[in-house]
Structure 1
Amino acid sequence: MKLFAALILSFSCLSAHAAELTQPTGPVILEVTGAIDNTNAEGVARFDKAMLEQLEQHVTKTATPWHEGKVEFEGPLGRALLTAVGAKGDTLVVTAINDYAAEVPAEDFDNYDVILAMKADGKYMRVRDKGPLFIIYPFDENPDLNSEVIHNRSVWQIKKIEIR
């Protein structure tokens, strides 16, 4: 009986690491490629808004260099996205709609409550508002994050993340 339970547990762990994601039913707003185990198309994990909202969510109220006063941002935790795709790399290349790209250490998503903000002050962010996704660090919680290096990692209008 113990052997059977061990086999079931082993199989469960293996399938958790290499699984297909569900298919998006709405417009795809994010593609994740590179060193990932979990996909829903050939070599890519595609996410629509509903799929991103099913990941662990977090709210961060913080001031940013791009907004007046404090803004309440809401969206999935970056580490929840990395877990969902089975990320294996240590660097993320985050690319915006206008092809601006920044390298973000994967450890930032583990060390801080970095979110892929979908909402600002309760409203979905449109492209003109830096949406549909915007990397937000908890700037007010950790003053060390309020630096040019971190600001450059705070990509908005994200369309793609490559895991390296």
Structure 2
Amino acid sequence: MNPHVFATRRACLLIGLAGLLHWPLSALALEPAIGSPLLTVSGNVKLTNAGRLAQFDMEMLEKLPQHSFETKTPWHKGPTKFTGPLLRDILAATGASGHTLLATAVNDYRVTIPMEDAQKHDVIVVRLTNGQPMALRDKGPLLIMYPFDQQPALRSALYFSRCIWQLRGLEVQ
């Protein structure tokens, strides 16, 4: 075989491999948050955009598939419509894996949520109540909500306690 042909083939192969190796590395990052980050996912996550963290601004949360349900809660007057991405979609967007989520509120209140809740139930990270954004004083801008009326078994103190409002962080453990 002609040595020039061999060298050309080897160079093409190396360039191709370099391109293949570059693709997965660039795929291991989320788009950067352009607006103020509202939600930070940390811990056992593979896809990040701020060092070892996955930060989401409102626009990024809006780009995820949106889901709504109406349910009654102990904290709202009458049935309320909640809209936002599913918790499991946020976790999937970060490549999260683990058994537990430690959810943290703006005031540093913390609650533990089993990861299986995100898979078994349509838990929403709420960004709209009755079609309106929530102010900080109205439990916003984000809160976790379970579909209590759609799954009556969830209507218990255990699941009510997992509905954290003024959500700012999720640590995947």
1:66-105 superposed Cα distances (whole Å, 9 cap, x missing partner) = 0010000000101100100000111000000011100001
Find the counterpart in structure 1 of residue 35 from structure 2. 26
Q: Are residues 1:113 and 2:122 paired?
A: yes
- Paired with 1:109 and 1:15, the residues of 2 have a C-alpha distance of 27
Note if 1:73 corresponds to 2:82. Answer: yes
1:92 pairs with one of 69, 84, 101 = 101
Amino acid in the other structure paired with 2:77: E
Is residue 154 of structure 1 aligned with residue 163 of structure 2? yes
SS at match of 2:97: coil
Aligned to 1:104: 113
Look up the match of 1:163: 172
SS of structure 2 residue aligned to 1:153? coil
Cα deviation 1:6-36 (Å, max 9, x = unaligned): xxxxx7xx939x6100011111101000000
Counterpart AA for 1:130: K
Q: 1:72 is aligned with what amino acid?
A: K
Identity %: 44
Segments of 4+ in structure 1 off by > 4 A? none
Distance 2:115 2:66 in 1: 18
Deviations 1:38-66 (A, max 9, x none): 00011100110000111121001000010
Structure 2 match to 1:45: 54
Consecutive unaligned residues in structure 1, runs of 5 or more: 1-10
CA distance in 1 between counterparts of 2:102 and 2:64 reads 21
Secondary structure at the counterpart of residue 116 of structure 2: helix
- Tell me the TM-score normalized by structure 2: 0.85
Query: What amino acid does structure 1 have at the position aligned with 2:88?
Result: R
| Equivalenced residues, count | 154
* Matched ranges for 1:116-131 at <5 A: 116-131=125-140
Amino acid at match of 2:58: K
Q: Which amino acid aligns with 1:106?
A: M
Inter-partner Cα distance in structure 1 for 2:135 and 2:77: 18
Matches of 1:97 and 1:78, distance apart in 2: 18
TM-score norm. by structure 1 comes to 0.89
1:107-131 superposed Cα distances (whole Å, 9 cap, x missing partner): 1011011000000001001111101
Aligned-pair RMSD on alpha carbons? Answer: 2.0
